[in-house]
Amino acid sequence: MKKVMEGQQCKFKNPIMPGFYPDPSICRVGEDFYLVTSTFAYFPGVPIFQSRDLVNWKQIGNVLDRPSQLNLEGAGHSQGIFAPTIRYHEGTFYMITTNVSHGGNFVVTATDPVGPWSDPYFIEGAEGIDPTIFFDDGKAYYLGTRPCSQGVRYNGNWEVWLKELDLTTMKLVGDSHVLWRGAMVDVIWPEGPHLYKIDEYYYLLIAEGGTGPNHAVTVARSKSLTEGFVGNPNNPIITHRHLGKRYPIVNVGHADLVQGANGQWFMVMLASRPYGGSFSNLGRETFLASVDWEDGWPVVNEGRGILEEQGIVSLTPAPVEPPLRTDHFDSDKLGLQWMFLRNPQKDLYSLTERKGYLRLKLKPQTLKEKENSSFVCLRQRHMDYVAGTVMEFVPQSVHETAGLVVIQNDQYHVRIERAMTEQQQVLRVMSWIDGQETRIAQIMLDSDASRVYIKMAALGQQLSFYFSTDGSQYHLVAEQVDTSSLSTEVAGGFVGCCIGMFSTSNGEPSDQVADFDWFEYGSY
């Protein structure tokens, strides 16, 4: 193993990517690190980040930013794009992933990580999920997971398999090889596999135990690429399954290894931070750990063996600009942090029809359906946060509404919206929990007040809603609304909460628009 060179120490705080950034994969090119994560039913897909120190990350693009690359029609929140892997080889970046809703496993390529990335090469015969790509001795190999080829004895009885990939045709060739079925007895869901050639061994890193509290990272090695993989006697090399559901960091797994230019090794992985009890509203986030080598095996956070909220890297700090707290929508394009649910309709929004405003067109689709609705969002990244906007919108019928929402999936969200009831303008707070609608609070608005400031403020699981007509004096609409139902533990799935602006005509045609002057989001 290459020894770590002495360098400037940089303290970091976990998670390095707070919020809904699961299934991280990482590679290094020169002094630059590149990281991608899963996006499921959100568009654009697979954000890509760049860093020099593994601590300060800047989003430089989205790998799947065109409809020709990503079909999300009808996808559930936790369908769509699963577990991307990013790799670099001889001047080309490769991102390989699964669209579980349309087409299966595919590869896209680029010579510049900023893009543009190619249209997908779907890989015929690549059954299963969680693919990766591995380069060795002039050849490329596809590595993935699939149901056990000897017969599935129980749910989650899968295996890791490998087959050569012809990069000129993007087709699988040669024989298929089963490499490993995981470390534990009756293991479930061996997934997220990655291969590395380090000295004389091939190392196979996987996750197993499911992506919840029993998640774990295990490793095997072999001197042959296609057979003889033997698990580390100390498996799992990291897990929090033994620490309980209320530990500050849970669900640890799905990792990728990377070596810095100074020789130091690191691991990125997903984990969750429950709060207000065992509730993970932020979803699965990206964490960082140091890796040492002992007797030819990786040791994660030596001497501690678990993920910690703080750590040290021996890389030169390279600060990047923090994300904007307020977006004034002055550009003709949305920033890279913004997302839509599924593929956005062509006339969904505009930044040019009214300069300096985000204009959302009212569409019949709502957030309660597996459709694309008029909704633009970003990830919730803090337990305590404030999100607000100023909206110019006056509904003309009882079907037309617009406002702010925090959403987990199509069955779970809480929103504040302007609406109309029996010719009266109102502002109301609504919850949609397990498919059941509840009006939490409602106030009357002056029908002449076309411009309304709305804000939501969270302290842990308690979310309060406010409004103003002048932007300075805010009034309470609803106080301490419990949001624990927006957690993964209640709502299910693989995503975290997102916050954004929406408008809808609730199933009816409409030519109305809602204009948003700015949007702000930040932590206390």
Cross-strand partners of 266? 258, 290
Beta strands in 72-152 (DSSP E): 81-89, 92-99, 104-110, 121-122, 129-136, 139-147
Higher pLDDT, 321 or 49: 49
In this structure, the answer to whether residues 191 and 265 fall within a common structural domain is yes
Higher pLDDT, 262 or 285: 285
Nearest to 441 by CA among 414, 415, 478: 478
In this structure, the answer to whether residues 128 and 221 fall within a common structural domain is yes
Distance CA 58, CA 37 (A): 14
**Do the Cβ atoms of 291 and 4 come closer than 8 Å?**
no
pLDDT at 319: 63
Which of the 8 DSSP states describes residue 187?
-
- Reported as a single tens digit per residue, the pLDDT across 251-268 is 999 999 999 998 999 999
Strand, helix or coil at 17?
strand
In this structure, the answer to whether residues 234 and 330 fall within a common structural domain is no
pLDDT at 444: 94
Instruction: Say whether pLDDT at 6 is over 60.
Output: no
Our answer to whether residue 31 is catalytic in this structure is no
Instruction: Say whether pLDDT at 2 is over 50.
Output: no
In this structure, the answer to whether residues 309 and 428 fall within a common structural domain is no
Q: Please state, rounded to an integer, the average pLDDT across all residues of the chain.
A: 94
Residue type at 224 in one-letter notation: S
Distance CA 19, CA 39 (A): 12
Cross-strand partners of 443? 427
Our answer to whether residue 191 is catalytic in this structure is yes
pTM of the entire predicted model = 0.95
Pick the last residue of a domain from 257, 284, 313: 313
Is residue 20 in a domain?
A: yes
In this structure, the answer to whether residues 235 and 290 fall within a common structural domain is yes
pLDDT at 311: 75
The pLDDT of 497-510, averaged and rounded, is 97
Pick the last residue of a domain from 313, 343, 362: 313
Residue from 159, 164, 191, 410 carrying the catalytic annotation: 191
Q: Give one DSSP letter per residue of 312-340, joined into a string.
A: EE-S-----PPPPSEE---SSS--TT-BE
Is residue 319 in a domain?
A: no
Is residue 508 in a domain?
A: yes
**Is 512 exposed, middle or buried (CB count within 10 Å of its CB: 0-12, 13-18, 19+)?**
middle
Whether the bond into 67 is cis, omega within 30 of 0 = no
- Reported as a single tens digit per residue, the pLDDT across 22-37 is 999 999 999 999 999 9
- Reported as a single tens digit per residue, the pLDDT across 412-432 is 999 999 999 987 999 999 999
Strand, helix or coil at 20?
coil
Cross-strand partners of 11? 312
pLDDT at 123: 98
pLDDT at 308: 87
Is residue 169 in a domain?
A: yes
Domain span at 102: 10-313
In this structure, the answer to whether residues 282 and 367 fall within a common structural domain is no
Which tokens is 257 given? 């290894």
**Can you give the CATH number for the domain in which 273 is found?**
2.115.10.20
- Reported as a single tens digit per residue, the pLDDT across 456-498 is 999 999 999 999 999 899 999 999 999 999 999 999 999 999 9
In this structure, the answer to whether residues 279 and 386 fall within a common structural domain is no
Residue count of the chain: 524
In this structure, the answer to whether residues 427 and 481 fall within a common structural domain is yes
pLDDT at 318: 63
Is residue 86 in a domain?
A: yes
Pick the last residue of a domain from 313, 344, 363: 313
Counting the structural domains of the chain, the total is 2
pLDDT at 145: 97
- Reported as a single tens digit per residue, the pLDDT across 298-357 is 999 999 999 988 777 766 666 666 666 899 999 999 999 999 999 999 999 999 999 999
Is residue 3 in a domain?
A: no
Higher pLDDT, 136 or 308: 136
In this structure, the answer to whether residues 144 and 261 fall within a common structural domain is yes
Instruction: Evaluate the CA torsion angle 330, 334, 339, 344 in order and state its sign.
Output: positive
Is residue 321 in a domain?
A: no
Nearest to 269 by CA among 4, 79, 16, 1: 16
Cross-strand partners of 220? 204, 231
Range in 176-185, 320-329, 386-395, 493-502 the model is least confident about: 320-329
Is residue 318 in a domain?
A: no
φ/ψ bin of 246: left (φ > 0), alpha (ψ from -120 to 50), beta (otherwise): alpha
Which tokens is 95 given? 């991102």
pLDDT at 317: 62
In this structure, the answer to whether residues 304 and 424 fall within a common structural domain is no
**Can you give the CATH number for the domain in which 514 is found?**
2.60.120.200
In this structure, the answer to whether residues 127 and 269 fall within a common structural domain is yes
The pLDDT of 357-371, averaged and rounded, is 97
Distance CA 93, CA 124 (A): 21
In this structure, the answer to whether residues 85 and 63 fall within a common structural domain is yes
